């Protein structure tokens, strides 16, 4: 579906995947393994574009439900560049061991990872805070993962937040604590996001938040425990 002119969300992908349609195509996050086919089908059948027009895949963080479609897309768009936050690079290449999350949900995630096997890959671009890519400004928002990034699109007043925030249509919330590697740092990043200027918030799970999204994030950040709490 087209959220605002030039920004699409691919339906039926677990771990929201967005496509920016401009001179070329930019894919932001790629869902769980198997989602690449849905993203490619959307490009062909809904956008009526050739997957070879994909210039960049930008990954907001290394979790399986965001990197799962990378390999399938790269097969159809061999010239595509894959970008990740620099501190997450070791996790997508396999150089760093994936964190072990506690409890039943963590066990389930490990089992799913063994079955689905999202696959390691070498990123082409390592993004740092305030880097520019495909007309977007990279915002470092560490905490959910060390290299979590957000993307600010000044042209449309949109912020792509990855999993640091979630919005279900009613309530704005933090990403799930069991899968957040540094909760205190994540909350610092949420406060920083609230200082940006954007009207539309697009998260890694959930639905769009608009209008006045940055004001909503600021208000939510004010409810979080203090930085030293």
Average pLDDT on 70-93 reads 96
For 127-190, give the DSSP string. Answer: E-TT-EETTEEEEE-TTSSTT-EEEEETTTTEEEEETSEEE-SS-EEEPPGGG-S-HHHHHHHH
Give the whole-angstrom CA distance, residue 109 versus residue 68: 14
Residues making up the chain, counted from first to last: 229
The chain-wide mean pLDDT, for the chain, equals: 92
Give the whole-angstrom CA distance, residue 11 versus residue 19: 11
Predicted pLDDT at 109: 52
Predicted pLDDT at 191: 97
Predicted pLDDT at 226: 83
Predicted pLDDT at 103: 62
Average pLDDT on 36-56 reads 97
pLDDT at 46 over 70: yes
Average pLDDT on 61-78 reads 94
Give the whole-angstrom CA distance, residue 209 versus residue 212: 8
Residue 76 host element (H or E): helix 70-76
pLDDT tens per residue across span 188-217: 999 999 999 999 999 999 999 999 999 999
Predicted pLDDT at 99: 75
pLDDT at 117 over 80: no
Residue 15 — pLDDT band, cuts 50, 70, 90?
Answer: very high
pLDDT at 111 over 70: no
pLDDT at 98 over 80: no
Residue 120 — pLDDT band, cuts 50, 70, 90?
Answer: confident
pLDDT at 76 over 80: yes
Average pLDDT on 84-103 reads 85
Average pLDDT on 158-181 reads 95
pLDDT at 163 over 80: yes
- The second-level CATH assignment, the architecture, of 2-221 is 4-Layer Sandwich (3.60)
Predicted pLDDT at 112: 47
Residue 186 — pLDDT band, cuts 50, 70, 90?
Answer: very high
Predicted pLDDT at 101: 54
Provide the 8-state DSSP code for 43: H
User: Can you give the residue ranges of every domain in the chain?
Assistant: 2-221
């Amino acid at each position: 579906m087209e959220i605002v002119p030039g920004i699409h969300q691919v339906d039926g992908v677990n771990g929201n995947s967005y496509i920016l349609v401009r001179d070329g195509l930019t894919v932001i996050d790629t869902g769980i393994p198997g989602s690449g086919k849905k993203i490619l089908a959307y490009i062909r059948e809904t956008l009526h574009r050739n997957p070879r027009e994909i210039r960049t895949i930008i990954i907001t963080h290394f979790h399986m439900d965001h990197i799962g479609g990378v390999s399938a897309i790269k097969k159809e768009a061999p010239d595509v560049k894959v970008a990740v936050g620099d501190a997450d690079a070791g996790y997508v290449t396999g150089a760093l061991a994936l964190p072990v999350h506690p409890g039943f949900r963590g066990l389930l995630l490990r089992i799913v990872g063994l079955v689905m096997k999202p696959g390691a890959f070498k990123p082409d671009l390592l993004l740092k805070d305030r880097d520019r890519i495909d007309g977007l400004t990279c915002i470092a928002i560490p905490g959910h993962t060390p290299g979590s990034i957000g993307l600010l699109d000044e042209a449309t007043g949109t912020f792509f937040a990855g999993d640091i925030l979630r919005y279900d249509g009613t309530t704005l919330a933090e990403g799930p604590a069991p899968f957040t590697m540094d909760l205190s740092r994540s909350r610092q990043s949420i406060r920083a996001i609230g200082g940006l200027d954007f009207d539309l918030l697009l998260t890694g799970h959930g639905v769009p938040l608009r209008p006045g999204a940055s004001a909503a994030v600021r208000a939510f950040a004010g409810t979080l425990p203090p930085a030293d709490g």
